[in-house]
Chains A and B, each alone.
Chain A
Amino acid sequence: MLNPSTAGQSVAAGELGSSLKSRSGKPFDRKSRLFFTNRVFRYICIGCAAFVCLILLAILGLMFRTGVLTFQDVSLSEFFFSTEWVPENEQYGALPFIFGTFALTLLTLAISVPISIFVAVFLAVMTPGWLKNLLRPVMDLLVGIPSVVYGYLGLTILIPLIRDLTGSSMGDGLLAASLVLTVMVLPTISRISDDAISAVPKRYVDASYALGGTRFQTVFKVMLPAAKSGIMYAVILGMARAIGETMAVVMVIGNTPQLADSLLKPTSVLTSNIVMQIPNVPFDSTWNYALYMMGFLLLVISLLMIVAVRLFQRKGGRV
């Protein structure tokens, strides 16, 4: 990288003519060395930033290139609209998984968003300062607990519980998976919403109280609307986590490729199906291509959500 010999020569050549004018006399002086390291550092940083982009593009390209090979053998309509996933019989209908992913995500959000917003209001508005300082780090710690542990808890505690309560024989299915996911996304959504609510300018809140608003009115008519874009951001992040979550879901959903027409029926989602099947499949097979296509779908969904976040940020101005 550093090339002192050539740089030194050029300075030395200049010195021959005007030794008095030279800056320090040394062939490779401090100033040009600093200049040089600055330059190099800058290029390294540019390279790293480009590398990050390159990874995303490589992933996108590779998933698409491999996934699209599915359609050599399987028609588009079969892949997206058939519910028959029997790779042994060359039947590749991915509808059960696509439907499962969307149903699971919506169910999870339906349970977790209201609770999270209440928890966020609780943290931001109601709790005294010392409790806040205690609870916020605990919530942050929860985000870091590995997903397998949640799955393990779901498998050993939640599923027997569901079996007892509903009397069904299996207990696996959308209900169990969405409850486990709810516990997982709850800290994420409530902490980011909490930050958004806390960031509402105090003068708005004061103005509401000065007009005689109760706390209920202040929270619902002033604070939540003012924090709207931040809360939307939190919900989308939670949604991204719910869609992409793999291991916790694998452990409680039952892993059966059938359309989930009941909450307690074992089913499968995109992520769980990929991770359960891909280790046993040869790379150059339609089965594998179909799994990569499903991965590509996941990728596209998650990237679309980032675009949605960007739109919200632009509209809301701040997060």
Chain B
Amino acid sequence: MRSNAAERNPFTTGRNMNRIRNHIFTALVWTIGITVILFIFGLLFLILKDGLPKLSLDFLYGLPSEIEEGGGIGPMLFNSFYILIISLIIAIPLGMAAGIYLAEFAPDNKWIGFVRICVEGLASVPSLIFGLFGIALFVELFEVGLTILGAAVSLAFLNLPVLTRVTEESIRAVPQDIKNASFALGGTHLQTIMRVLIPVAQNGIITGICLVAGRAFGESAVIILTGGVSTSGEMWDFNLLSPGANLAVHLWYVQSEAIVPDAADIAQKAAAVLVCIVLIINLLFRIPLWLSSRKMK
């Protein structure tokens, strides 16, 4: 009797359909979600599994070799950090100042709207274009050739808009009350920015910087064009005008152009080192933030 009624009632069948659809949907989302997550961990595992066990200090510190086996990645690794640090030294003050201007000083008019579009536009420019710009600037205009300096400056240009946006957003997110309290105590605008707004916004700014640092560390297209694919072949070469291949470029170079017999081996290890360092940069910056945000709660 009851089943009879259920068959006749259009709402009940609709509900059954809905329930089935809902179950299928739930199952589908869970499957895709779990698959993607497993896939991600699988990828990380794959990169690290082959390379990490074979790593040795000789490899990390050793000089690369063009023909023989057993080349290391010392100069590339050094160049990676050197270029990263120079580009951050250039980009952080410029980017933060521009961000502070947009968040604090900028009047709300057409001209500032244009500046915002410029920043957003620059942030979306493909990294390769910065490489082309770097070539035109450093190789053609200043005629210094492929150098660490050119690579670092081009990289700084690449990171500038991201830092600007991150700074602006973090400073805008600071509660108005805190800012007003500083003004009420007689703080000038500069004092308010330096002692109140930036410390409160530092969470967001540091996350942004670590994002940018990770990206700059692994950037290769810009470096190939402006820094070249080779190094000076010496360790601790602080000369700004020596060729500036970094680890990411070396990974590509070894995998596709080099003629060393153990290229696959070097590539495996270089990839593992690259991923490890990017993970470490992210973790190092994030753990203190994570701890401090826990303490705040």
Give which listed residue, A38, A55, A148, A291, contacts B251 with CB less than 8 A.
Answer: A148
B271 interface hit (Cβ, 8 Å): yes
Count the A-B residue pairs with Cβ separation under 8 angstroms: how many?
247
Of B1-9, B69-77, B113-121, B231-239, the stretch lying at the interface with chain A is B113-121
Establish whether residues B26 and A126, one from each chain, have CB atoms under 8 Å apart when the complex forms: yes
Establish whether residues A146 and B219, one from each chain, have CB atoms under 8 Å apart when the complex forms: yes
B241 interface hit (Cβ, 8 Å): no
Give which listed residue, B32, B161, B224, B278, contacts A52 with CB less than 8 A.
Answer: B161
Interface residues of B in 37-93 (CB under 8 A from A): 37, 40, 43, 46-47, 93
What's the minimum C-beta distance from A65 to chain B, rounded to whole angstroms?
A: 9
| Chain A residues with CB under 8 A of B195 | none
Specify the main secondary structure of chain B where it touches its partner: helix
Establish whether residues A147 and B136, one from each chain, have CB atoms under 8 Å apart when the complex forms: no
Q: How far is the CA of A62 from the CA of B140 in the complex (A)?
A: 12
Known: A148-B248, A153-B43. Contact between A298 and B128, CB under 8 A? yes
Give which listed residue, A56, A123, A279, A310, contacts B125 with CB less than 8 A.
Answer: A56
Interface residues of A in 245-289 (CB under 8 A from B): 245-247, 250-251, 271, 274-275, 278-279, 283
Establish whether residues B190 and A38, one from each chain, have CB atoms under 8 Å apart when the complex forms: yes
Specify the main secondary structure of chain A where it touches its partner: helix
Closest to B135 in A: A278
Q: How far is the CA of A147 from the CA of B214 in the complex (A)?
A: 11
Shortest 6 CB-CB contacts between residues of A and residues of B: A146-B218, A244-B126, A122-B33, A45-B101, A144-B214, A48-B97
27 contacts between A and B (CB under 8 A): A41-B193, A45-B97, A48-B101, A50-B115, A51-B94, A52-B119, A52-B122, A55-B160, A119-B33, A126-B29, A139-B40, A144-B218, A146-B220, A148-B249, A149-B248, A149-B274, A155-B255, A186-B36, A187-B40, A217-B22, A251-B256, A271-B126, A274-B128, A283-B136, A295-B129, A298-B126, A302-B125
B-to-A contact residues, CB < 8 Å: 18-19, 21-22, 25-26, 28-30, 32-33, 36-37, 40, 43, 46-47, 93-95, 97-98, 100-102, 104-106, 114-115, 117-122, 124-133, 135-136, 139-140, 157, 160-161, 164, 188-191, 193, 211, 214-215, 217-221, 224-225, 228-229, 248-249, 251-252, 255-256, 264, 267, 271, 274-275, 278-279, 282, 286
